[in-house]
Every structure is written in C-alpha cells, then in structure tokens.
Amino acid sequence: MSNASTLGQLNNGDSCWRRPTVSGGNAMSQTEMVTKPVADERQQSGPILRQQLRKVKAAYTRRSLLLITPLLLFIVVSFIFPIATILGKSIDNPELRVAMPVTVAVLANWPGDALPDEAMFEALITDLRNARSNGLMLSIAKRMSYEDNRYRSLIMSTLRKVPAEGPVREALISALPLWGELSTWQSLQRATQPLTRYYLLSAFDRKVDVESGQIKALPADQALYVNVLLRTLWMAAVVTLLCVTLGYPLAYWLAKQPTGRANLLLMLVLLPFWTSLIVRTASWIVLLQSSGLINQSLLGSRLIEQPLALVFNRAGVYISMTHILLPFIVLPLYAVMKGISPNYVRAAISLGAHPFAAFWRVYVPQTYNGVTAGALLVFMMAIGYYITPALLGGPGDQMVSYFVAFFTNTTMNWGMAAALGSQLLIIVLLLYVVYIRVTRTQAETAIH
C-alpha cells in the first residue's frame, strides 16, 4: 500500500516534474524576443559608429594637412608662385598703359572702324609729350615696334612734326602718312590692351598682320624660335639616346657586382655631382681642344693626322652633356636592376632559350620602368641646359635656354623670355603625361 500510494502520488505530481511542452510558434516568438533587441541595438549603433569613424578620419586628415603645411607653403612660395609670375609676364602688356594713360582711356571707347577725331590725336600728343619728359619715349617706340618695325621711327618723329598751334590731326597726317592709316590706330589699340598675345605668337614665329588683323607666319628670314626649339629637342634626344646606350650596360654591370664593390663604383658614377658644372665644362674644354689630351693621344698613337674639331661645336656639346647627365640614367636603372631576380633568366635558359634571347625577352622588359624614368629625367634636364652649350658650342648649337637668358639679362624683355620659357614648361608637362600613361600601361600589362 505504501508503495502503491507513493507511486500514485508520483503520478499525481507528474505535472510538477514534467518539462512544459512549448509549441513551435511559441518557440519562434521567444527567439525573436531574444534577437530583436540585439538587432535594434545594432541598427541604432550603426549610424553612431559611422559618424564616429568619419570624425576620426576628419581628425586624421586635419593632422596630416597640418604636418605637410610647411612643405606646401614652401612649394607655393619657392616654386609655384615664381613660375606663375614668370608665365604671367608672357601675356602682360603694361608699357603703353603706364606711358600713355590718356590715349588708353580714349582708345577704350574707339570702335576701330574709322580714323580717330581731333580729340584722340590731341590725347596722343599729350601722352607723347609727357612720356618724353618722363623718359618713356623709347619704351613706347620699342613696344610699338613689336607690332610693326615702321612704328618705331613713327613714334620717335611724331613730336617733331606737330605744329605749335592749330589743329593736330590734319597736320600730323600730312607730315606722317602712317597716322592716316586705320591699321596704325588698330595696332596702337591692340598695344594698349592689358593682355597681349604678341610674345606667345613670336615664340612660335607668328605675328598679327597689321592690315588684316589675322595671325600669319613670319617670313623665313625672320623666323628663328621654332628652329631653335626643334634644335633643342633634337640635341636633348641625342643626349638621351647616348646616355641610355652607355648607361644601360654600366648599370647592368654594377648590379652584378658584389655590394661593397658596387658601392665603390657608384661613388665614381656620382663624382660629377660633387663637381661644379662650370668646372666640369671647363675641364672638357681643356680635354677636347686641339692641343688637349684627347687629340694629343690620338696624334701620338697615329690614329689621326690632324687634330679633331671637338670643341666649340655640336660634338663637344654632346660629349660634355652626356658625361654630366649619365648618372641620371644609371641610378634609376641600377635601382630597378638590383630588384630583379636572376632566377627568371635562369629558368628561361633551362627551358631551352638562348642566353641572349632570355636576356632580351625576359630581363630587359623588367627594366622598362627604369629606362623610362631615367630617359625622361635626362631629356627634361637636357632641354633646359644653358651653360654647357654656351661654353662648348658654337652659334648654331645654342638652345632655347640661351635665348631665355639673353632676353632676361641683355635686352630685359621679360615677356619674350617668359614666352620661350613656357615652351619648355609645356614640353615637360606633356612628357610627364606620357610618362604616367606609359608606366600605367606597363603596370597593367604586368598584372595581366
């Protein structure tokens, strides 16, 4: 009885020990009750985290900009601002606006389709008299000669032909018929504009025709600067080719040497950097002249019977510039070649390739970046050389930089110097664009 009663009590209290049965729907609801607050918390914290991340990035950017601000200021002050100022001189036109303010004001309202009236002639004479007293007559005559060579003598003789009394217009036209031509006044109006295209056109052997107002080429006997520019590009290309031809095997040989020996040999390559440019050029004059070491050695060895003309001509310029610029091709090539594993060429040879074919088709393509960088650097430096061609070259070997120095230091024509300098700047920018595209293409080819 006790066992039966105990068993009955257990059966009656089964509900107390039995785990409650939960339906599937109730189970899902409990899961949602657990996960929903977590999802809501994530949704609420997501924008907050993104906002905090943006703040951290903004603070990092501000700190970075603050760190490079001194460098940016230095570049702007010492590089960008001077270049922008010089380039501005190529279109600046201040001469007549300073020397002839009354005429400038009157010409601003002149339509340009008929000869000026008496008032404009009187304004011209007033400005010329003031310019003579202020010593600005030569400046006016020089600026007007840019439009037409006849205008220099016209300006210088105008005041001598002006009557002491009476109308100026008819007397001046009668004495100097050029003042009666509409093209003269149109040229004067162009010369009084705040900006001019004269210098840029002259840098490419072009000018504005005084009769038609159209841009035309200068006569062959007056054209100069396009030929000088082509000569500059040709000489720079020859020097670049010589540097690549000599620098590639030299860099390859240096890359194959042990580290200690390579460092010692690199010091010899860098030796030109430690010597003044004028000293190096003067040394080449001593070596290349008729009684110099090179000619005397060739004569002593009976390889030549007469001394070679190696100085004050194109050959001397090529030799000296190649020697000076050679390190600029060797160093990039050496840096690239040191990073090339020799296993690639060995693998190609082991697969049956000829050693030269393996070198040409496996090794050389890996050095294209170094060749491109070095050649571009040499070419950009060569087109701006001045001292070496001036000392070692003849009259037909001068480059654009010679004429930039001539207009800057001798004739004080800043506009023409800036226009010629802009030619070199445009060429350098174009070369940089080409370099970026070439390197990008090479990188994409290497990836694929």
Give the start-to-end residue ranges of the domains of the chain.
22-89, 95-193, 225-447
Residue 393: count of CB within 10 angstroms of its CB: 24
User: How far is residue 31's CA from residue 42's CA, in Å, rounded to a whole number?
Assistant: 17
Closest CA to 398 of 407, 388, 410: 388
What pLDDT, on a 0 to 100 scale, did the predictor assign at position 31?
Answer: 52
Q: Which amino acid is at 150?
A: R
- Answer for the pair 317, 350: CB distance below 8 angstroms, yes or no: no
Question: For the chain, how are helix, strand and coil distributed in percent, rounded to 5?
Answer: 75, 0, 25
CB 368 within 8 A of CB 352: no
Amino acid identity for residue 179 in this structure: W
Q: Is 224 helix (H, G, I), strand (E, B) or coil?
A: coil
Alpha helices per DSSP H over 289-412: 293-300, 314-325, 327-338, 343-350, 355-358, 368-382, 387-392, 400-409
- CA gap 112, 122 in Å, rounded: 17
Percent of the chain clearing pLDDT 90 (strictly above): 46
User: Among 3.30.830.10, 3.40.190.80, 3.30.360.10, 1.10.3720.10, what is the CATH number of 225-447?
Assistant: 1.10.3720.10
The answer to whether 132 and 89 have CB atoms below 8 angstroms apart is no
CA–CA distance from 36 to each of 23, 25, 26, 30, 50 (Å)?
20, 16, 15, 10, 22
pLDDT in tens, 227-239: 999 999 999 999 9
Could you give the CA distance from residue 396 to residue 394 in angstroms, rounded to a whole number? 5
C-alpha–C-alpha distance, residues 341 and 367, integer Å: 12
Q: What is the pLDDT of residues 386-396, one digit of tens each?
A: 989 999 998 88
Give the pLDDT of residue 314: 92
For residue 345, how many other CB atoms are within 10 A of its CB?
Answer: 18
Answer yes or no: are the C-beta atoms of 155 and 140 closer than 8 Å.
Answer: yes
How far apart are alpha carbons 19 and 9 in whole angstroms? 18
**What is the pLDDT tens value at each position of the chain, 448 positions in all?**
444 444 444 444 444 444 444 444 444 455 555 555 555 555 666 677 788 888 888 888 888 888 889 999 999 998 899 889 988 999 999 999 999 999 999 998 898 888 999 999 999 999 999 999 999 999 999 999 988 889 999 999 999 988 877 788 999 999 999 999 999 999 999 999 999 999 999 999 998 887 777 899 988 888 899 999 999 999 999 999 999 999 999 999 999 999 888 888 888 888 877 888 888 888 899 999 888 889 899 888 888 888 888 888 999 999 999 999 999 999 999 999 998 988 999 999 999 889 999 999 999 999 988 998 899 999 999 999 998 999 999 888 999 999 999 998 888 889 999 999 999 999 988 988 888 887 777 666 655 5
Pull the structure tokens for residue 299.
């004569």
Give me the pLDDT at residue 43, please. 61
For 131-245, strand residue ranges (E) read 206-208, 215-217
In this structure, which amino acid lies at residue 374?
A: G
Distance (Å, whole) CA 322 – CA 326: 6
pLDDT computed for residue 33 by the predictor = 53
Task: Say if residues 402 and 327 touch (Cβ distance below 8 Å).
Answer: no
Measure CA 214 to chain center. Answer: 30
